[in-house]
Amino acid sequence: MKPILKNLPVCLSLLLSLSFILTAQQIFVDQLGYPPAASKYVFTDQPADSFAVRPAGGGAAVFRGPLSLFAMDDPATGMTLYRGDFSSLESSGEWAVEVSGTESSLPFTISDTVYAALYRKSLKGFYFQRCGVDLLGDPAGPFYRTRGHVADGFFHASTGNSGFLPAARGWHDAGDYGKYIVNAGITVGTLLLAYEAFPARFAADAVNIPESGNGIPDLLDEVRFELEWILKMQDTQSSGVYFKLTRENFSGFVMPAQDTGTRYVYELSSTASGNFAAVMARAARVYQAFDSSFAQTCLNAAVQAWGYLQAHPQIVPPGGFSNPPGTATGQYGDGDDRDERLWAAAELYLATGENTYHNYYLNHYSQSGLMNSTMSWPRVQVMAHLAYLRGTLPGINTGLQNTLRTSLTGYCQTLLGLRNSNGFHVAMYNGDYVWGSNATPLNRAVLLIFGYEETGNALYREAALDQLHYILGVNAHRLSFVTGAGDAYPMFPHHRPSGADGVAEPVPGLLAGGPNKNLDDPVLQAHFNETTPPALCYIDDEGSYGSNEIAINWNAPLVLVSGYFASDDPPSGLGEPAVPLLPDTPQLGQNYPNPFNGATVITVHLATAASLQLQIVDVLGRAVYQETLEALPAGEHRFTWQGQNRLGKPVASGLYYYFLAGQDGRVTPAKKMLYIR
């Protein structure tokens, strides 16, 4: 019997917390806090003229500042808001904001690593979504459970097949226990994007999942758990990919082991196949440095799925997938598969360098728009464009990359305008407050981050951080929307394990869907109506699947954004900021992974344009490999060494040194790397 934590001490603690929240209800801050050098704003609906920042435990004010009217009758919330700026307070510690000498905010921290725990918690949220395995011991803690859904799954009659497809494991998709390829695609794609773009930021191997400490970043361990399930959903005959694996109807609020209904595999789908090909191609690139055999498996599967798409040039099934009669689980309806095909082509080109995929992307890249929208499961063209924009293959079209960069910059400017016109600095239109609305500012933060990385415009980085502040408490509900993060967060998410496990606390690290003006469930309809401002249409109630469900595709951008801001920021150096972003001399980063098998990535930072030579030598100083780097622009550059010598043959296992040599004969200090075959 799992211990029930809903006891008197917990109840008293919750009451005390509630009383504290009620006294703090007028002041809005990020409940986790702020990096020291970041902009910091407090918002309040009190018409006060000043505020003070004090130690959270009490004491003298360390900062005082004015409050000014910021938003009158804010369209999203209907609130009148006042704003104060305490950006110049950079002292580390735990603080609270006081307004009118009596009201105090929830406590928050100023620290270089203020979001590190959030990154670990949100990534570990995927561990708690694992299907078909026991969650036990220290990684599971009080949320331990026994395995369920080990008989996934039987072919549904709509497939035209009979029998069983062994497709256990993977992640539960959301608050229910279904598994859906299209949602897995955008989720895995986002997580692998995080690692591929910023490997040093996502290198943590101590998140406390069963694989922690194995020398592989935990993000990649966790994503592989899902990838191995996705691979099982490919049809061995046609190489197409089945759409989903669910019951015919949602289960009740029971634990996985008690959900014993028959689970079915549903039809082949071109949107599923496109997602599959894209993420497998990206996985082939990312995992090459860690497990070249698995990377090759992913690439082979991606190529085969592309073959299915080429053999079926029209959407499959006609009009897109829809539930057959008698099935009422998630539909993820999408009648246009052109964006999935485009994403697959871009990722396969970057994985193989083959013109077949490149030409497809070049011929179709503009069909669904450029970088002028936010990615989501039915709109993945932006994932294709981001991949191509960041590509470094010799044959890549740099003119098109410039076009994409300009498009991204234009969209970031639009998002800045949205942010500046919103009472809480969140880049959302009133129409964005729909099912899963909290994913929208996070996905826009992802684009703002890449806008910053491509241009060096620090305003984009600041706006990206504002979107995280919204999620963590700078919102009309004074709530951190992430379970277990901060002092006030959802206690009753629409999430079957959280509702059925007998533990008072919800499973931690999961993002609630957020305000939903469409009132898509009876609980929302009972509390709000069409006159309610859209950002207020949220309730912390297990029955509100329209506003309080969790989902893996919403957690994925939370992982990327929190992980990006979890440590000191090594600036991009690509724009023209007010302060120098790079050291005066070329800087050589530590390779990653290290030790490695197959391939490793070496990072070079340049303050100014330069021509250099990357040299790799063995422990005796003998030349092993060299690459001439001609006319590199200022900024950050990444180079992949495949563990081969100058003749293209694999080198022996052992210790190697690498350094940069300039045309003037100067060299950088050498760094070590360990190659293990």
pLDDT value of residue 1: 38
Mean pLDDT throughout 180-200?
98
Give the C-alpha separation, 662 to 116, whole Å: 37
Type of residue found at 24: A
Per-residue pLDDT reduced to its tens digit, 194-223: 999 999 999 999 999 999 999 999 999 999
Residue 61 lies in a domain: yes
Beta strands in 72-144 (DSSP E): 81-85, 93-99, 103-104, 108-110
Residues 186, 46 within the same domain: no
- pTM of the shown model: 0.84
Residue 505 falls inside a structural domain: no
How many residues does this entry show for the chain? Answer: 677
Q: What is the mean pLDDT of the chain?
A: 92
The catalytically annotated residue of 152, 176, 221, 226 is 176
Closest listed residue to residue 593, CA positions, set 196, 225, 228: 196
Tell me the mean pLDDT in the region 329-352: 98
CA dist 661 and 638 (Å) reads 16
What are 519-566's pLDDT values in tens digits?
A: 999 999 999 999 999 999 999 999 999 999 999 999 999 999 999 999
Given 540, 541, 542, 636, the catalytic residue: 540
Is the CB of residue 98 less than 8 Å from the CB of residue 59?
A: no
Same-domain pairing of 14 and 149:
no
Instruction: Give me the percent of the chain exceeding a pLDDT of 70.
Output: 94
Half-sphere exposure in the Cβ direction for 643 (13 Å, CA): 24
Q: Which two tokens stand for residue 133?
A: 């395995």
Lowest mean pLDDT among 4-18, 411-425, 449-463, 547-561: 4-18
**How far does Cα 570 stand from its chain's mean position?**
19
- Picking from 572, 627, 570, 573, the residue whose alpha carbon sits closest to that of residue 602 is 627
Catalytic residue among 425, 469, 494, 495: 494
One domain for residues 264 and 156: yes
Residue spans of beta strands (DSSP E) within 119-202: 154-155, 179-180
* Residue of 282, 292, 287, 253 lying closest to 187 (CA atoms): 282
Which residues make beta-bridge pairs with 423?
A: none
In the predicted model, is pLDDT for residue 2 greater than 70?
no
pLDDT at 575 over 70: no
Determine whether 627 is an active site residue. no
Torsion angle of the four alpha carbons 72, 74, 80, 82, in this order, in degrees rounded to the nearest 10? -90
Q: Which domain holds residue 33?
A: 8-110
From residue 379, how far is each of 318, 373, 388 by CA, in Å?
18, 9, 16
pLDDT given at position 507 = 99
Residue in 453, 549, 636, 637 annotated catalytic: 549
Given a contact cutoff of 8 angstroms between Cβ atoms, the answer to whether 613 and 661 are in contact is yes
Q: Which residues are registered as beta bridge partners of 435? A: none
Q: Out of 7-16, 178-187, 231-240, 278-287, which region has the weakest mean confidence (pLDDT)?
A: 7-16
The CATH code of the domain that includes 196 is 1.50.10.10
For β-strands 671-675 and 623-632, DSSP reports them as unpaired
Same domain for 97 and 163, yes or no, is no
What pLDDT shows up at residue 23? 41
Catalytic residue status for 549: yes
Please name the amino acid found at residue 75: P
Alpha-carbon span 463 to 469, nearest angstrom: 10
At residue 637's C-alpha, the angle toward residues 634 and 638, to 5°, is 175
Using the 3D structure, point to which of 79, 110, 141 is the last residue of a domain. Answer: 110
* Residue 534 domain-assigned (yes or no): no
pLDDT at 585: 67
User: What pLDDT, on the 0 to 100 scale, is given for residue 584?
Assistant: 52
- 375 and 352 share one domain: yes
DSSP character for 106?
P
Residues 40 and 159 in one domain: no
Find the Cα–Cα–Cα–Cα dihedral 44, 45, 48, 49, rounded to 10°: 60
Count CB atoms within 10 A of the CB of residue 620: 5
| Ramachandran angles phi, psi of 133, nearest 5° | -135, 160
Residue range 140-159: average pLDDT? 98
Query: E strand or H helix at 465, and its extent?
Result: helix 458-471
d(CA 525, CA 527): 6
Name, in order, each residue with C-beta under 8 angstroms of 417's C-beta and a sequence gap of 6 or more. Answer: none
Give the count of domains, the chain: 3
Q: Is residue 548 part of a domain?
A: no
Residue 567 pLDDT: 83
Contact 559, 249 (CB under 8 A): no
Give residue 4's pLDDT. 41
Q: Report the alpha-carbon distance of residue 375 to residue 560 in Å, rounded.
A: 14
Q: Nearest Cα to 189, choosing from 411, 376, 351?
A: 376
Distance CA 522, CA 540 (A): 13
Please check whether residues 218 and 326 belong to one and the same domain.
yes
Residue-wise pLDDT tens digits, 642-670: 999 988 889 988 888 898 888 776 777 78
Specify whether the CB–CB gap between 221 and 211 falls below 8 A. Answer: yes
Cα of first residue to Cα of last residue in the chain, in angstroms, is 47
Which tokens go with 422? Answer: 């919103």
Our answer to whether residue 454 is catalytic in this structure is no
User: Is the pLDDT at 635 greater than 80, yes or no?
Assistant: no
For residues 98 and 29, is the Cβ–Cβ distance under 8 A? Answer: no
The reply to whether 409 falls in a domain is: no
pLDDT value for 581: 29
**pLDDT for res 19:** 38
Secondary structure in 3-state letters for 486-551: CCCCCCCCECHHHHHCCCCCCCCCCECCCCCCCCCCHHHHHHCCCCCCHHHCCCCCCCCHHHHECE
8 vs 22, 487, 489, 498, 502, CA distance in Å? 21, 19, 20, 20, 15
Residue 214 tokens read as: 């194995």
Reading the block at residue 563, the tokens are: 């992980």
Asked whether residue 618 carries a pLDDT value surpassing 60, the answer given is: yes
Closest CA to 286 of 563, 567, 592, 554: 592
Closest CA to 381 of 332, 438, 431, 341: 341
Query: Within a 13 Å sphere around the CA of 454, how many CA atoms are in the beta-carbon half?
Result: 23
Q: Is 408 domain-assigned?
A: no
Q: What is the pLDDT of residue 297?
A: 98
Residues 214 and 362 in one domain: yes
pLDDT of residue 103: 86
The CATH number of whichever domain residue 32 belongs to comes to: 2.60.40.10
Does the pLDDT value for residue 179 go beyond 90? yes
In a domain, 464, yes or no: no
Does 494 participate in catalysis according to the annotation? yes
> Tell me, what's the pLDDT at 656?
87
Q: Please check whether residues 197 and 222 belong to one and the same domain.
A: yes
For residue 583, pLDDT beyond 50:
no
Which contiguous run of DSSP H or E holds residue 349? Answer: helix 338-352
Instruction: Label residue 606 by pLDDT band (50, 70, 90).
Output: confident
Task: Put the strands of the sheet holding 179-180 in their side by side order.
Answer: 154-155, 264-265, 244-246, 179-180
Q: Which of 65, 81, 110 is the last residue of a domain?
A: 110
Strand partners, 112: none
Binned at pLDDT 50, 70 and 90, residue 603 comes out as: confident
Answer for the pair 40, 85: CB distance below 8 angstroms, yes or no: yes
Long-range contacts of 646-653 (CB under 8 A, 24+ apart): 650/677, 651/618, 651/624, 651/625, 651/675, 652/677, 653/677
Per-residue model confidence (pLDDT) at position 544: 99
Residues β-bridged to residue 467: none
pLDDT over 90 at 81, yes or no = yes
Residue 195 token pair: 């690692």
Q: Kindly state whether residues 349 and 290 are assigned to the same domain.
A: yes
Q: For residue 361, which of 352, 181, 231, 304 has the smallest C-alpha distance?
A: 352
Do 89 and 126 have their domain in common?
no
Q: Give residue 568's pLDDT.
A: 63
What does the radius of gyration of the chain's CA atoms come to, in whole angstroms? 25
CATH of residue 624's domain is 2.60.40.4070
How far apart are the C-alpha atoms of 425 and 193, rounded to whole Å?
26
Q: What is the pLDDT of residue 593?
A: 79
pLDDT digits (tens, 9 = 90+) for 427-451: 999 999 999 999 999 999 999 999 9
- Lowest mean pLDDT of 6-20, 71-85, 585-599, 630-644, name the range: 6-20
Residue 327 has pLDDT above 50, yes or no: yes
Residues 306 and 375 in one domain: yes
Both tokens of residue 319?
């009009």
- Where is the domain boundary, 94, 110, 126? 110
357 within a domain of the structure (yes/no): yes
